Structure 1
């Protein structure tokens, strides 16, 4: 039965007690019911006294009450922190700059998002020609009073007459798909629900392909496992009930399917995966032959052995980037109109891994990672290397969208001390010019960005970015960030909250630990499954390096999702090394993670909890199961959200309850639970500012950071 549970939004309580009178040690925690739940797993008895906290906060009044009491305690504590108001004011100021996405051209129209600075969500604009005045098309800020309903993905139709877009509500992974008429600005009578983990792909101007799951049982939409994903075609002007099934695998319910369409509209490419690993099967549907062949899918790649990422297609020829025979990726091509055609190598593997690929005009544009920083190179379609794209400094690049025949493309470049600047690249000349550049409320030249390397426990050389004010030359409170999983590469990016920490005299460090994709497949493999301990060793070694090199006086650690697991694990393993930790939306129960929503996908990185060999590894580092009572722990703030249906908040609830029940010394172990928010994407600006202010004030207090005078 669905209970009428209401959870209020997180808000810190404002107190009038003088700061010097505040006691910042561990407060009296709310009482948490402890049950006698014990399971025997592979011969070991595993206690799980807080399993009841796995229940959905919307449907369980006791969990909702626990959340209310924890938030009240945390709000009271955070309101006493001396730097909270300073961080809130300064982060708000640093957020207040124009932010643009890279423009996409369809027909003669250019589409892009623009945030004026403090808007909760970024509206979508269109220009009728590059030099025309922008016109507002979609303003998601009007969709919800709390700003928590976001414009997610969007795709302009091939001739630019319509925009297909998805709506994200309250941070959930579920999406609602809608269509807008560009000329009139009116929303069409189209609505598709229960889409998740989907691409959006136009089929001409008549309709679109998308991926969806079956509608979950009532009350299970934020917790039930996701099975039976399928690709459908929705024809404009028809109800969703008439959508055509394009591709599914009912005999393999755990397979995932996504659809893209080549720029010329000739081919629909169905990519099938079985988890989070870059191991795909690929099929092609000839859209030009639908009248006679329907949605017949032609097998291109089978076996789930390698990554195959569509670059684009021209007529019968398709280009893909793949790690088959090339752990750092190469570009290959095949001609589907020629029955005798086989895969041909176009751009061979290089020393740096390929991070992105597109075809614009008559050129391949490939982005690479060199020690986690961006390079961009161009090639002709036969693979001959042309002039590189000149980038400025250590940073990240994205964009390069376009299609064969286009004379231009746009890309974004950013770094730790520079928000994204949007450039227009003339494909014929290779020259770049600024399309949009924000005015800043700080001097980028006052911030030093450097990259250094250190040795991990087994001698592996690991890069770390170090960002600080030029005048901060001695040891300083340091915020160390990491992720270390799922082939995800962390590259330089701008964040107002990090800059505020730096302006206050702190150091920000980002370690490119194993488990990510910074150096290709071997780097990923070196930090997953039986090698997961390498991730924790790399992160611990980063903190030791920063202290030994007189960069850090005290180290606070932070990470989200898989990075939240990272923080929980290293705090358990080396509580003496860190002053404070922030585990954000973390995977904290490694013995039950595969039981909810998308958790079953993560076995590629973590292993299977119900297989003995994997269980024995997971048991050694699961944050919830390895808290060391009787040991002095650093201060910890756990952050999560009630609508997180990626890593369900029960992970964080159980971990926090276990921390608070253990004898870990006098430092606080708190949880901050946001409402109408999810795993991170779609979070409104005002909530992002509030959350960052609370976290940094907490970490700064225990790492020794003080507000600038």
Structure 2
């Protein structure tokens, strides 16, 4: 393979003092907005041309793409939401680019399309975002996501006639859509309109909750809740099924939140803050009269269920279900029928336990296998409920649940085009640098019994657990004889708040150590071939992959950092970045600056080391982790002496941080990534038999 000639990237040094240290930012000009900066636009075009030239020389790319398309040829349902005798759900059929919204008349009636976003744009890059059906089942409010952006426009549809209203609500972002009990309108969260229409670079500030009344102009929308004295807070409103309290969660970007309640049965809708501080998570799952039922981390590292009585002048939590005495983490809960259903994570796998509303244990719900269950949908007082179940070898199936009899019956069981009996799924545990035991999932063909090229995936941040789920993209790698490994590293939520905090702020190095230890374990135990370890992660996982590549370039053979947070000194300055300070620490503080500089991928490229092959990916419309992170990081890689393996970037157009990306673009991107990884790890690729 011929040596790659990278595009020329201008070096324009910007020197700044940080707490007595001079830091030079050579590629800051790549932060400029590409559509309005011809130099950045030209750089993107040149990089894509070089990357495409390399990827087109690799064998197997078309095989991966073809198999991914074939593996997606099944129906993918979401858990239905019931209104009267109507059941609403999204359904993604085969290789359609976007899922559509459907309604079923009767639990097993024929499904009818309500909204099909595949006709919204020529490239199918526009998608349905959030959606909500009024209590009476007459209307559905839905958001439109254009080209992958986090911004949303909300529209309203009359379900019976299929007529779309003239209502047009703009600038919604980080929002839910929640109907008022009488169906007169809905609550949503929005930002002020961006200055001069600069949606890509607009700061996230002055988030507020509004009420939109059907048939009126947005200018008439009623402000429900805002904190002008604290413009950096996010406010998200929700309402439990058929409840009459609006619960507003306020947070500076942490998992912990303040809680404000609006009694929708009152005339004035006066907000009442019942939890003013942000020291714990508070999530309302229902109410019993004036008593709110909540899931919280208050006094419980792995969450518990409590009540708050709004009839009291100063409500205090009263325990209903205590924190699990072992290591199980409360991950999902709902009031269904006259039961309380709780999904627990036990070593990252789901158990569903039943309780009476008083909190007394009442058995368990039988699951079809080892995997992930949740997404409970149902109404208090109604014995019919639904939940979803998936696993590494089991596509998402929807189950109907009878809360009275505890019976579980299939409601939608897709037949995926792969034989699950041919797959081996197991969980191993390994020790990290400091001796901490970390879980690791392994997925491979049963006939793969020797060391094989391995794709190691990780995230490790924001308290988000990595749980079993069915992914045709990853199975295309496994199908070719590769191993898929998923590490449940610290920084995630697999074992509750303590597991998260152990990979947060100054403890972030534990996340990297855990991932490095996973790679060492895979090679030491003969699961992975000695030159066959590829690593992948996206967003915070992109930071993970890039950081450990700099720290241990000798261990990894391929690195695939996607939409990563890579410049840790300037992440706060772009769009939603300020909300991540609680996770990473603010570079404006001395102690955090010094910690961030130990691992910031853009600043810690190790010139002179022999690096793995690197293919970074990003999207031009990503307004959450802006693509400049990846641009600057790749420019630094290409300018350094890192050996002969390629350091490339693939930049997608009309796509954002991931949500809403059309399936054809997702498949094309991952076919490139897997072909790149296969080439540089030695994975043999063969057409399916």
TM range (shorter): over 0.9
Q: Is the 8 A contact 1:482 1:566 kept in 2?
A: yes
**Secondary structure in 1 matching 2:95:** coil
2-structure distance, mates of 1:454, 1:269: 41
- Alignment match of 1:75 (pick from 33, 52, 74): 52
1-structure distance, mates of 2:132, 2:382: 17
Matched, 1:240 2:218: yes
For residues 131-146 of structure 1, the aligned pairs below 5 Å read 131-146=108-123
Structure 1 residue 343 displacement after superposition:
2.2
2-structure distance, mates of 1:654, 1:32: 10
For residues 586-597 of structure 1, the aligned pairs below 5 Å read 586-597=564-575
- Describe the superposition over 1:207-226 as per-residue Cα deviations: whole angstroms up to 9, x where unpaired: 01100010111252111221
- Alignment match of 1:345 (pick from 316, 319, 324): 319
Structure 1 residue 374 displacement after superposition:
1.0
TM-score when scaled to structure 2? 0.98
Query: In the superposition, relative to structure 1, how do residues 288 and 259 fare at CA in structure 2: closer, same or farther (>3 Å)?
Result: same
TM-score when scaled to structure 1? 0.95
For residues 120-131 of structure 1, the aligned pairs below 5 Å read 120-131=97-108
1-structure distance, mates of 2:58, 2:633: 24
2-structure distance, mates of 1:264, 1:433: 25
**Secondary structure in 1 matching 2:362:** coil
**Secondary structure in 1 matching 2:607:** coil
Structure 2 counterpart of 1:296: 270
Structure 2 counterpart of 1:526: 502
Matched, 1:107 2:111: no
Q: Is the 8 A contact 1:263 1:313 kept in 2?
A: no
- Alignment match of 2:390 (pick from 397, 414, 420): 414
Structure 1 counterpart of 2:164: 187
Matched, 1:472 2:448: yes
Structure 1 residue 338 displacement after superposition:
5.1
Matched, 1:663 2:641: yes
- Alignment match of 1:644 (pick from 622, 628, 642): 622
**Secondary structure in 1 matching 2:676:** helix
Question: Where do 4+ consecutive residues of structure 1 move more than 4 Å?
Answer: 338-341
In structure 2, stretches of 5+ residues that fail to align are: none
Matched, 1:629 2:607: yes
Matched, 1:321 2:295: yes
Structure 1 residue 340 displacement after superposition:
7.9
Structure 1 counterpart of 2:194: 216
1-structure distance, mates of 2:46, 2:252: 40
- Alignment match of 2:227 (pick from 249, 252, 256): 249
Q: Is the 8 A contact 2:60 2:686 kept in 1?
A: no
Structure 1 counterpart of 2:237: 259
2-structure distance, mates of 1:231, 1:696: 43
2-structure distance, mates of 1:175, 1:148: 14
- Alignment match of 1:577 (pick from 555, 568, 575): 555
1-structure distance, mates of 2:497, 2:473: 32
**Secondary structure in 2 matching 1:410:** strand
Q: Is the 8 A contact 2:243 2:286 kept in 1?
A: no
Structure 1 residue 342 displacement after superposition:
3.8
**Secondary structure in 2 matching 1:80:** coil
RMSD: 1.1
Q: Is the 8 A contact 2:274 2:315 kept in 1?
A: no
Q: Is the 8 A contact 1:91 1:496 kept in 2?
A: yes
Structure 1 counterpart of 2:34: 57
- Describe the superposition over 1:313-337 as per-residue Cα deviations: whole angstroms up to 9, x where unpaired: 2332210011111100000012323
2-structure distance, mates of 1:207, 1:497: 39
Structure 2 counterpart of 1:5: none
Matched, 1:566 2:544: yes
Structure 1 residue 544 displacement after superposition:
0.3
2-structure distance, mates of 1:38, 1:520: 41
**Secondary structure in 1 matching 2:598:** helix
Q: Is the 8 A contact 2:274 2:314 kept in 1?
A: no
1-structure distance, mates of 2:108, 2:13: 68
- Describe the superposition over 1:420-446 as per-residue Cα deviations: whole angstroms up to 9, x where unpaired: 111111111111111111122110010
**Secondary structure in 1 matching 2:577:** helix
2-structure distance, mates of 1:340, 1:706: 66
Matched, 1:434 2:417: no
1-structure distance, mates of 2:314, 2:58: 70
**Secondary structure in 1 matching 2:266:** helix
1-structure distance, mates of 2:243, 2:301: 31
Q: Is the 8 A contact 1:387 1:430 kept in 2?
A: no
For residues 347-496 of structure 1, the aligned pairs below 5 Å read 347-350=321-324, 351=326, 352-496=328-472
In structure 1, stretches of 5+ residues that fail to align are: 1-22
Q: Is the 8 A contact 2:565 2:625 kept in 1?
A: yes
Structure 2 counterpart of 1:12: none
Q: Is the 8 A contact 2:255 2:462 kept in 1?
A: no
2-structure distance, mates of 1:615, 1:621: 11
- Describe the superposition over 1:164-197 as per-residue Cα deviations: whole angstroms up to 9, x where unpaired: 1111111100011111111011111111110000
**Secondary structure in 2 matching 1:179:** strand
Q: Is the 8 A contact 1:266 1:315 kept in 2?
A: no
**Secondary structure in 2 matching 1:334:** strand
Q: Is the 8 A contact 1:201 1:261 kept in 2?
A: yes
Query: In the superposition, relative to structure 1, how do residues 26 and 405 fare at CA in structure 2: closer, same or farther (>3 Å)?
Result: farther
Aligned length: 682
1-structure distance, mates of 2:145, 2:178: 18
Q: Is the 8 A contact 2:72 2:416 kept in 1?
A: no
Structure 1 counterpart of 2:669: 691
Structure 1 residue 495 displacement after superposition:
1.1
- Describe the superposition over 1:551-606 as per-residue Cα deviations: whole angstroms up to 9, x where unpaired: 00021000000000001000000000011010000000000000011000000110
2-structure distance, mates of 1:251, 1:239: 27
2-structure distance, mates of 1:612, 1:408: 55
Q: Is the 8 A contact 1:314 1:404 kept in 2?
A: no
